[in-house]
Structure 1
Amino acid sequence: MIRARQWNLWWLVAALALLPSGCGFHLQTGASIPPKLTGLRVTGTGPAGGALAQAVDRALQRDGNHAQQGGPLLQIDNAYVSQRIISISPSSGVALEFLDTLHAEISVIGSDHKILLASQPLLMENSFSYNSGNPLATNEQQITSQRLLMEQGARQILRRVLNSPGFRRQAP
């Protein structure tokens, strides 16, 4: 009975923690993307490229951007997530904390096939702790951590693209 209550409490806390992240990324002041990027398409390569491209595409769609066949292309290349142990229990030798790192290269190519944003590296990190009291929760923690990492990566990519000198809106 106590175990079930703890499990339910854990799920409640996890759901409450994810609730604010559900609002997603919105561009500053709800501004639309610059005219040069209207119809922006997103592609990704690598083991995490598809998930990261989908996260970016969802953020763009929330702002009203709908990918167009002839539109500019945001390329996310060689995307992958690496994981390493950053903390081990001295008494049991069990890993207690992990660090997930998202690696990728991003670039933007215009509809005229000219480079609008030269390739640049993306590196995002997110740590999560292992619950030694519930070993089965580790997989769920890892999945949640990587989902959050993709959302953070998508926000970072959009910040970089929209704030790059070639796309930044000029003040009136």
Structure 2
Amino acid sequence: LRVVGSGPAGGSLAEAVHRELQRDGNRAKSDGPLLQIDNAYVSQRIISISPSSGVAQEFLDTLHAQFSVTGNDHKVLLESQPLLVENSFSFNSASPLATNEQQITMQRLLMEQGARQILRRVLNSPGFRQQVP
């Protein structure tokens, strides 16, 4: 399986898919099916605010993307599908510097969850299973 990604988070999501594949002992092959990840981006929304200080306390990060799989012969093995992964995290106002570290950790977690979801859906798709022995 070859993996390419586009969009602001496409590279990070493609790398997360590669890491998940490598964990299972798989390697990308230049002649393997192509997993195309399109329009990947992360949005963030405030979901709670401290009534006393007016500071945001909880955020919702959402990973958005589309993905599809085609064979070497350009035959569609898996039609384009949406990906949506959400995670919330809380902000500790006593430690403002933790926010950046929390955000990096949460985005890494989003990418890992997105990669696992993509691979689960690809590997369970009938078109892909018929193509790969």
TM-score by length of 1: 0.73
User: Displaced runs of 4+ in structure 1, greater than 4 A?
Assistant: none
Of 58, 61, 65, the match for 1:100: 61
Aligned to 1:110: 71
Which runs of 5 or more residues in structure 1 are unaligned?
A: 1-39
What is the RMSD computed on CA atoms of the aligned residues?
1.1
Per-residue deviation, 1:111: 1.1
Which runs of 5 or more residues in structure 2 are unaligned?
A: none
The count of aligned residue pairs is 130
Per-residue deviation, 1:168: 4.4
| Greater relative contact order structure (CA < 8 Å, 6+ sep) | 2
Does residue 1:73 correspond to 2:34, yes or no? yes
From the two aligned structures, give the one with the greater helix fraction. 1
Aligned to 1:151: 112
- Deviation digits for residues 83-136 of structure 1 (CA, Å, limit 9, x no counterpart): 000000001100000000000001001011111100010000000000100001
Structure 2 residue identity aligned to 1:60: L
Aligned to 1:121: 82
Does residue 1:136 correspond to 2:100, yes or no? no
TM-score by length of 2: 0.94
The within-5 A match list for 1:19-98 is 40-98=1-59
Whose radius of gyration is greater, 1 or 2? 1
The share of aligned pairs that are identical, in percent, is 82
Structure 1 window deviating more from structure 2 (46-55 vs 158-167): it is 158-167
